[in-house]
Structures are given as C-alpha cells and as structure tokens.
Structure 1
C-alpha cells in the first residue's frame, strides 16, 4: 500500500494503531489529525486494555514533519495549525487512559522522536537511531521537546537538539531512557511487544489508568504549553533562513 493511512485493529483487548506515509512516514496535517483522533477513540474504548503504536514499513519509524507541507506554509496562523498537529498527537497520548507501547523499527527524526517519547513504554530495534534535525532548517523542536525532556532529561534533549546533524544510536537512546529494550531485528522486537502487551492485559485496568495519571503528573498545562510552542515554530518557519533552507528540499 503506497497511500498514507492510519489504521487500527483490536484483538484480545490489545489495540494496534499503525500510521504510514510513503515519504518515510513523514507526517502531514491530515495524518496527524487522524492519528490523534484514533488514539483518543481507542483510549475510550472499554474493550481495549493496552495500545501498541507502530508505523508501516521496515526502514523508518517516522521522518517527522512533512517537508512538502512545511514548504507551503505562508503565514503564522497556518504554521501554528500545522505544528499543533504534533501537539494534538502528544496530548492525545498523554490523556489516553491506557498504556501505550511504542514499537520503533527504524530511524526516527524530529516529531517522530516526540511521538516515541510520548509512549508509556517503548521498544526498538538496533536500527532505531534518533535525530532532532529542526535547527538545521531554522526552527527548533519546540512542540516535542517537553515530551522528550520528560522522558530523557534536559541534558539529553538539549544535546540532540543542538547537535542537529547527528543520528544518535538506539543504545544511546536506551541509556537515556527513551527505549526500554533494543532488539537485533524486527521479528524479535515484535515478539517481545506482543508478549508484553498480552501480559499487561492480565493486570487490573483501573490500576493501570491510575498509574498513567501518576506518570504524567505535572503535564496538566500541556494543552496551552504545546499550543504556545506551536506558535513559535509557526512563526520561525516563515523566517528567510527557513524559507531559503526549505527551497533546497523541493
């Protein structure tokens, strides 16, 4: 399938949400909105006890924001709306009453790192290197950095945000707390993800919901915080620096 999609499947109390875009799973506004809505809908489904979040394909988990859409932004309001798409996904994951297990099969960039950091438990393959490339195009990881900082700490987040050209390998990300486990290949990871999700289904759902609230304590202002951050990105994407840089990607 070469068309972009968000699909969900529910089997034995486990919901699997998968997103895909033919351009290395980069995320345009419509896919971000669909992803946020699907997470909210599945989270409110009483049949679901645990959620697995994954992307299609076997090379890249998520290439971050859609460059095609970034290039087309011509005013601050449109820019804020676009970056709010990532904010809405992160906030949907934060408010979701079910544990979300991340399944990261390959490289993840920018907004994709924010999505991985917003899962409650994250497994990856050794190919899942991470990069925050936003500074390269004259913006910054403003919307996703609260989620990354919460999971990895200010030190690790600022290191990868400043060193915007470098991919940091999966084991570094594991050491910093982004990934719980790193596997040799997709098959091993998928087996572990499935087994872990099945095990979580044996626990008290009410206890898991209460635990999730505890884990996310202190993020109650993120609806407004991430909206403010989206406005910063929306303004910076209009800068001459960014416009000139994005032209090279056309």
Structure 2
C-alpha cells in the first residue's frame, strides 16, 4: 500500500530492539521538505532511545526506493533562502544518520536517484534487489549532487562518485553499486531481501549495544565538519536551482 498524501508519509515501528522507519510519497517516494524534516526528527528520536539497537530504513511500495528531491518544491523555489532551506533538508537527514547511535540498515527495493543515493550511502549497511539501479541525475537539471557528495564519496570513493555524477543521464545497475560499495548484498526478489534484512537486523540487535555504538563512532570518525560542510553545499545548490537553465529544465521535466 502506498500513500496518496502530497506531503508524504512516515511510519516508525519498533519491536525486539529493532526500529523500522518507512517513508513514502506518491511521486516515486521523493522528498518534499516536510518529509525530510520528519525523517530527521525520527532518526534523532530513535538515536536517543536506549531500547533501540538497530534501525531499518525503507520506503513504501515495490517500485522506486527514492526519486530524490520533490520536483514540485524545486520548481516553487523563488529565492536563495528558500533554496538553501530546501537542500538543507537533505543535509540534516544525512547528518542525523551519521550521528545516530545505532547502525542504520538500508533496504533498497528499486530505483534510486539523487538524494536517494545519498540516503543509501549514509546507511551503515545496505541490501538491495536487482531492480535497485542508481543514478545521480542532478547535472541534467542544472544543479549538482553537492550535499550528498561527502556521503557518497565516503562510501564508494571519489572515482566511483565521478562516474555517477558526470554521467548524469545513465543508470548504474545494482551489481555495479554492490561492486563499488553502496550495497553489500543484492537479491533477486523483494521477498528474499526482506527476509535477509530482518535476519541481519536480529543478529545486530543481539550484539553488545556499547560495542555497536563504539563501532559506529569509529566508522564515522573524521566527519564532524559535515554540519558546516553540508550546509555550505546546500547554499551552492540553492543558488543553482534559481538559474534559468534549471528553471527551464524543471518545467520541461514537469511537462
């Protein structure tokens, strides 16, 4: 069942020390500002809950995992402040994920674009189906994957990031994403994916929470400057989204 709400939906369910956070939006699980804010708040709340040992991040439906930024909101941006605020939404989510005390498992069932690739890269461990191709399409509409770059490059290295970012119209398949390190395991079906995600989450939830938290801190060492960096990147994107090139490209896309 997928949501029909224009501002999207977000549900959190907790059981046996495992929290599942599921987001949805009728436009291929894309993100308007309100949904980005709700996801950030949900992760921050779970991070401070000692009864939660692991978090699963997933999206609704069986098709796209995430289409990135909401095109309706991108089109509606009229000034730099609005632009910076919108892209800061992705910055805030990524920063909440890296600071989160628990490991976040990504469950990626389908195609993933732009900010969705950033979310997958900010997960601590990601599993996907064969249908989970990825693309950084930002240059095609006159902006760039600036806010998510640190998260993607940290996960797959600069060379693989460049292969994605420059070749902005091309999909890379799930096995390419696995080879580069976005995904750790790839399955044929969503049924297999869900089974393995649950089994893995249960394993992680059974480990010493102190060791898990220490492991998370070690893995994200050297990213403390991201609060400032990602906000600066949001400003770059916020400025570019006002360009004539981008306005024209977004209008064409909408039509």
* TM value normalised by structure 2: 0.97
Where in structure 2 are there 5+ consecutive unaligned residues? none
- What is the distance in 2 between the residues matched to 1:141 and 1:99? 24
RMSD: 0.6
**In the TM superposition, what are the counterparts of 1:70-219 in structure 2 within 5 Å?**
70-219=74-223
Where in structure 1 are there 5+ consecutive unaligned residues? none
Alignment: residue pair count? 250
CA deviations over 1:180-209 (Å, ceiling 9, x no partner): 000001000000000000011111000010
- What is the distance in 1 between the residues matched to 2:217 and 2:81? 32
Report the secondary structure of 1:48's partner residue: coil
Candidates 29, 40, 54, aligned match of 1:36: 40
Equivalent position of 2:64 in the other structure:
60
CA deviations over 1:40-65 (Å, ceiling 9, x no partner): 10111111010000000110000000
Report the secondary structure of 2:58's partner residue: strand
Report the secondary structure of 2:14's partner residue: strand
Equivalent position of 1:235 in the other structure:
239
- What is the distance in 1 between the residues matched to 2:48 and 2:192? 30
Report the secondary structure of 1:19's partner residue: strand
The reply on whether 1:248 has 2:252 as its aligned counterpart is: yes
The reply on whether 1:2 has 2:43 as its aligned counterpart is: no
Equivalent position of 1:16 in the other structure:
20
Give the drift of 1:249.
2.3
Report the secondary structure of 2:157's partner residue: helix
Moved over 6 A (4+): none
Give the drift of 1:15.
0.2
Equivalent position of 1:221 in the other structure:
225
